[in-house]
Each structure stands twice: as structure tokens, then as C-alpha cells.
Structure 1
Amino acid sequence: MIRPDDWLRLATSPVTSQPGKSVLTALGIAIGIAAVTLLTTLGHGVRQYVLDSFSQFGTRIIAITPGHSETAGMAGGLISSVRLLTLDDAEALARITGSEWVVSNVQGSGPVRYGERVRSTEILGTTSDFNQAWDFPLAMGKFLPDTGGNSPAVAVIGDTLYRELFRSENPLGKFIRIGGQRYRVIGVMQPKGSTLGFDLDDMAYIPADRALTLFNREGLMEVDVVFSEGTTSTQMLERIKAVMIKRHGQEDFTLTSQDEMLSSMNRILGILTIGVAALGGISLLVGGVGIFTIMTTNLTERTAEIGLLRAIGCPRRQLLSLFLGEAVMLSLFGAFIGIVITAVVVALLSLLAPAFPVQIQFSTLGLAIAVAVITGLISGIWPAYKSSRLSPIEALRGE
């Protein structure tokens, strides 16, 4: 009978006596642990980043877009809208009970010129509620006026566009040319950063009615309604739908709440996270094959040792546990290396991309370590069973 301290020493001897060989054997498990943990960590970080980007504008939002989309098992086709969204529609939506802000949007791109400096950028035609609805504070000046139509040729520019065109010069009251037309700068937005790869600071804002003319559009791309806290999303959807059907005569529009967008995005990103974790799990399978191979090799190399243990009375059950213990030790050794790799990579990512929310998911790490241990046990079962069945006389004679 082997004492517990001797059992532990014998079980850890393959790792401690041949560290180079042990590292190579455990490398598959280490890569598997690192791959699963890093992929799920990155997946969670991307998910959090996207959800934060969507949520920074609030959750009490309903978007109205032209065309009625129907879902039947998968994303349906877009049916042509009989009537486009207009500024009059936006004004009608602003009169709905519970409507706090209504923003009309027409987006395009083009050159913005000041003197000899020209920058190609995004141009957003919008209305006076924009900066309050989306919490876009001004650094100087004021936002677009509420004229109810026939707006003056004025513009508000983002922080990046301001720095590129005006450098340190005061832009207020100066004239810029947008798409060949002259606009007077009345405001500059505070830095807002980027969302989903879209630079919110590199943009010019002009009145929606002028943008329709500039881009030769007949209707708005989208109307966003921000409703009050005392109103539910369901109530607001019903009110908007009733008003729009009354104006258009049919449901030729699509309503999308921010809750629906966040829920759909959350599901999609959750599935992607599971998918990349499953791909990382393949490395654990490779690590299991490596442990199986090395345990089988050890069985051949240690035949005499096994025979001696059996000759001095070591039970088969304890010999079985000894080989399984060796397999588990190799798995844990690999898991330790994988944890170190993960910690180093996460630390580097935090330094290189501090804005990206990356944090080790300890639940995933614990699950990966458990899977590694199970992989070691499964990989060591056959060599351990084979070693326990060796006859001590035959084993010693073979040596």
C-alpha cells in the first residue's frame, strides 16, 4: 500500500523530473485553456462594447423607417413604401402624448471646405431636437434652429471637423461650403468619440429640409422618437402606429424599439461567443490526445517500476489511481500555463486598447480548467487501466 505522500510524489514525478517533456505534453491543454478563455473574454468584450455603444443614446427610443418589413422565419423582404417619411410626419409624431424628442434624419457624405482646406466627411441633415435627444452637448455656439421648414443655411460641425478645418481659429460666424453650397457655422459639438467604427466627431450637421435638397432626396431616412420615462415602449409603439396609419392610410413603415435592437444584438453576440468558445475547445481535444500519447509512452518506459510496485503489494486500484493522478497533474500543469498566457494577453490588450472592455471571465476559466481535468482523466484511463493489469512477474522479467 502506497502512503498518500508517496502517492503524491510519484504522481507529480513525471512533471518535476522531465519539465521540458511535460511542457510539450501540456502545451495542447495550455493552448486550449488560453484559446477558450481568450475567445470568450474577447466575445464578451465585443458584446459589452456593442451594447454600450447602442445604449449610450438611451433605451427609450423608437425608430421609424420607410417600408414595412415582415418576418416569417427569417428576415423578410422590404416592401416598397407607398408614401415616404416626411418632416410633416415628424411634426405629427412630436404631438403624440409621451413624445419627448423627435429627430428627423437624412444622411449623406461629401466635401466640406473652408478656405483652402477641404475634408470629405459625413453630413447629417437633422432637426433641432438632435443634440438634446442624443445628449450631444455643444462646445461653443448653438445647435440648429427650430424653424419648422425653410431653414437658413447654417451648420454645426463636430470636434474633429472643427480642428481639421479651423485649427485654433474661432469658427462661429464663418462660412463653409458643404456640397458646393455655402453654410454659416453656428456651433461646434463637444467630442463624442466613435461608436461601432463610426466617428461621431467627424461630421457636419445641417437642417433636414436643406439636406433633402442637397442630396436630392424626397423623403427622410429615419425618424427617431424619444419618449418620456412614464411611458412604456409598448404604449408608444401603439400610439406611433395609430398616427402613422392615419396619415399614410396603411402600414407602410417599420417601427423598431431600442429594446428590440438591444435584445436581438444580445442574442446574436451570445451565440457568437458560444461559437468561438467551441472552436477554442478543439485545442483541449488536441491536448487530450497528447496526454494519452505520453501516458502510453510512460507505460512502456516504466514497466519495471510498475512490476516492482505490484511485487511489493501495491493494489491494482491504487496503481490505477496513480496513473490517473499523473494525467490530471499534466492537465493542471497545462491549465496553469494557459492561465499565465491568458493573463499576459489580457494585460497587453488592456494597455493597447484601454477603451475596449476586456476582462477575464472567471466562470469560463473555471469551466475550462474543469474540462481540462476531465480531459486528463479520460486520456489517462486506458494507460492507467493497462498498467494496473500488468503481471508483476512478467513486468520484471520483461525488464
Structure 2
Amino acid sequence: MRAIDLITLSYRSIGSQKLRSVLTALGLIIGIAAVVILTSIGRGVHQFVLAEFTQFGTNLLAVFPGKTTTLGLSGATISTVRPLTQDDAASLERLDHVLAVVPVIQGNARIEAGDKQRRASVFGVGAAVPEVWKINVQQGRFLPAGEMNNPRAFAVLGSKLRDELFGGDNPLGKRVRIGADRYRVIGVMEEKGQMVGFDMDDSIYIPIGKALEMFDRESVMEIDLLYQSGVAVEGIEKAVSRLLVARHGQEDFTIITQNQMLETMDSILNILTMAVAALGSISLLVGSVGILTIMTIAVSERISEIGLLRAVGAEQRTIFQIFLAEALALSLAGGAGGILLGIAVAQALKLVVPKLPVELAWYYIVGAFFISLVIGIAAGVLPAMKAARLKPLDALRTE
């Protein structure tokens, strides 16, 4: 039988049972649409998180106190935590190819200005934050450099915190109380958004020395280092390690590069996207059971038709192809309908929930479509084989 005749006959058979065919394809439509929607959300979250990580630039390296090593015995670990100091940060800044260094302490405190108050994130940092973190000053200036040992009580507000405390008034030169101490506002930062759970706009920046006193700490939480673009990060990492080992006497710190963070986050988010795709694929299995059931019923109802086809000379292969083509046509219709429905819902989500990151993951969409075709073939093989094996005389006698 010619391919065009096979396709025509398949769609005529499906069209003769419209309601049954629609209900059968509905299982695949829902399954494919679920895969499209879930993977689009997963891909959108993937891109959003990576964008959050890279908004501070890519030539970054972070040093954290403490080094965890594994001993020969399974599960045995030793964790040594030594302090990182402002002197360590100052030493790192003198390394070749290092542009700027920022020691960091982060905490939370009550901020008061006049009769208004709110709790916000407090960042104790160095003067190089605008350069290292890629955050521009919108109004005034940032914290001055060269005040490591005797810092003045200056503060720089995030844009949201400025609006909450001062409204439309100019905050420069005014006093705010952070905890028990009073600070003079010397600047306001541009709007930056969130970074891994921290709202950078609802924050206040004070000198690292003042933050050490406020949070009763003797060491910094991390040191962020900005190096020249085009320089191999491995070389910078080795230089940092050599310097700190020389200062501390041992490797009691952990160095994490921006590339390592991005690779780790990328692998985690890829697994997340695959997981939601697998969750949506469960509906595809339901759809395959529906096709198998309907094709089995179709063979039972059309035994006399099969006998007539065999009597006029149709070969077993032709009968097999007819029923397999019907199953494939159902899966093709279900796959195409599911993709269209999924894309429509994903685009609607963008409009209805603008803050929800949604991005179509085309390789998952194409993969789901091909899986739907495979499901149609797999679900149609057994009924098609059953139909092809019927003997002509037995089939003709069946009513």
C-alpha cells in the first residue's frame, strides 16, 4: 500500500470515531503540555539564577575561613576554621593582577531615622564595593578608603531603604541609628535587585571596622577579590593560596571562584529541570496506556474489516501497517496539540505573572514530541501484530 493511501486510511479511521480519538489524544496532549510548562519554568528559573550570580561580574574570587579535609576513614572529616582579617584583605590587594579587594561582614539590625524604623541587612564592607560588586552610587559617594584602623561612622543606603526611611527627602548628611550607634549618611546606591536571597536595595553599607564592633566579631566572613579580565583564574587562585598559607602557616581557608560557583549552580539547575521534565512525563505514560487500550478495542471491533482486507489480497504486513499508522497518527495529533497548548500556557504565564521566570526549553519540547511518537509506535505494535495475525476466514466469520 502506498504511503499516501496508508495515511489517508488512518486519518479516516480516526475521524470516524471523533470523540474516542479526541479523548485518547487528550492524555498525550496533557502530558506534552505538562512537560512544556514545567521545563519552561525550570529553564526560566535556571536563567534567572545564573543571571543573579553573574550580575556582579565574572572576574571574581571569594576566600572563606576554614578548610574541610577528608581522612582515610570513611566519613571522617576535620574542619579547621581560622579567622580572615582586614590585614589579609590588604595583603591580597597587593598581588599582581588584583584590581580590588572587599572584606565582608553581613548581619541584620534595626535602622532608625527620625520616627521611622525598619530591620534591614547591614553590610560591613571596604571602599571598593562599587568596583568589585558592580554597584554604582546614585547619590553622594561611597565609603572612603584608607580608614581600616580608625573608620568614621559613615553609612550608605540602598535605594529601597532610602525610600522607606526618608521618602522623597534628601538623606545626605542626615543621621541614622544602626543598633546602638549613630551614622551619617553620605551616599545612596542605585537600584540593584536581589542577589541569592539578599535584597541589595533594602540594605545599608558601613565600614568593615564598625561592623566588627557592632556584631562583636574578630574576623571577616569572606574576602571578595576582583582580578583583571584575561588573566587565568588558576594563576590568581594559586597566588592567593600561597600568600595566605605564608600568613597563616597552613591552608586554613577555602577559595571559590566565580566559575566554580556557576558550574555548580548550572549542574544543580540542570538536574532540577530534568526532574520537572520527568514529573511531567508521567502523564505521557498515562497517554500511552490510553492509546494501547483504544487500539486493542479497535482491533476487536474491526475483525470483520480485517478479514475483508485479507480476502481481497491485503498482506499481513499491510494490516500491521494500517493499525500502527493509526496509533502513530493519534500520538502525532496528541504531541502537536500538547506542544501548542503548553506554549500557549507558558506565554500566558509570562503575561499573568510577569515576575515568574519562564523561558521555553526547546530541546525538551522537541524531545517530548519525539517521545510521543515513540509512545504511539510502542502502544500500537501489539494491537497491530494481533490484527495482522488474524486468519482471513476466521475474521470474516466474526460479527
Equivalent AA in structure 2 for residue 32 of structure 1: G
User: Which residue number corresponds to residue 269 of structure 1?
Assistant: 269
The residue that corresponds to 2:35 in the other structure is 36
* Range 89-98 or range 2-11, more displaced: 2-11
- Structure 1: how far apart are the matches of 2:71 and 2:285? 39
Q: CA 1:236/1:12 → structure 2, altered by over 3 Å: closer, same or farther? A: same
CA apart distance, 1:40: 2.8
Equivalent residue runs for 1:1-399 within 5 Å: 4-70=3-69, 79-81=79-81, 83-146=82-145, 147-354=147-354, 357-399=357-399
Measure the CA separation in 1 of the matches of 2:111 and 2:7: 74
Distance in 2 of aligned mates of 1:57 and 1:184: 27
Structure 1 residue 3 displacement after superposition: 5.5
Report the TM-score, using the length of structure 2 for normalisation.
0.94
C-alpha separation in 1, matches of 2:258 and 2:141: 28
Write out per-residue CA displacement over residues 170-205 of structure 1, whole angstroms, 9 at most, x where no aligned residue: 100010111121111110111111233321100011
**3-state SS in 2 of match to 1:182:** strand
Q: CA deviation at 1:78?
A: 6.6
Range with greater deviation from structure 2 (10-19 or 366-375): 10-19
TM score, norm. by length of structure 1: 0.94
- The one-letter code matched in structure 1 to 2:123 is L
* Native 8 Å contact 2:157 2:205 kept in 1: yes
The one-letter code matched in structure 2 to 1:116 is: D
2:30 counterpart letter in structure 1: I
Q: Whole-Å Cα distance in 2 between the matches of residues 232 and 99 of structure 1?
A: 12
| Distance in 2 (alpha carbons) for counterparts of 1:88 and 1:39 | 49
Quote how far apart the aligned CAs of 1:355 are: 5.7
Counterpart of 2:114, as a letter, is G
Q: For residues 168 and 257 of structure 2, what CA distance do their matches in structure 1 show?
A: 41
Counterpart of 1:34 in structure 2: which amino acid? A
Per the TM alignment, residue 339 of structure 1 is displaced from its structure 2 partner at its CA by 0.8
Provide closer, same or farther for how the CA distance between residues 167 and 220 of structure 1 changes in structure 2, counting only shifts above 3 A.
same
2:201 alignment partner, SS class: coil
Structure-2 separation of matches of 1:70 and 1:342: 47
Give CA-to-partner distance per residue, 1:75-102, whole Å, 9 cap, x none.
9957232x31111111111111111010
The answer as to whether partners of 1:330 and 1:376 remain within 8 angstroms in 2 is: yes
Check conservation: 1:69, 1:76, Cα contact below 8 A: no
In 2: Cα distance, 1:150 partner to 1:124 partner = 18
Query: Contact 1:49 / 1:356 at 8 angstroms: preserved in 2?
Result: no
> What are structure 1's unaligned runs of at least 5 residues?
none
- Overall identity of the aligned pairs, in %: 44
Identify if the C-alpha distance between structure 1 residues 311 and 72 changes in structure 2 by more than 3 Å, giving closer, same or farther. Answer: farther
Query: Separation in 2 of the partners of 1:165 and 1:42?
Result: 36
Q: Partner letter of residue 31 of structure 2?
A: G
**1:70 partner SS:** strand
State the Cα RMSD in Å: 2.0
Q: Deviations over 1:195-251 (max 9, x none)?
A: 333211000111110001011111100011111124321111111111111111111
Counterpart residue identity of residue 134, structure 1: W
Q: Supply the distance in 1 between the matched residues of 2:161 and 2:360 (Cα, whole angstroms).
A: 37
Q: Secondary structure at the match of 1:342?
A: helix
Aligned residue pairs, count:
397
Residues 136-174 of structure 1 show CA distances to partners (whole Å, capped at 9, x for unaligned) of: 111100001112321111100001101111110110001
Shift of 1:349: 2.5
CA drift of 1:71 comes to 5.9
CA contact (8 A) 2:71 2:78 kept: no
> Which whole-Å CA distance do the structure 2 matches of 1:79 and 1:361 have between them?
41
Range moving further from structure 2, 331-340 or 321-330 = 331-340
Kept in 1, the 8 Å contact 2:37–2:343? The answer is no
Q: What is the CA-CA distance between 1:392 and the residue it aligns to?
A: 2.6
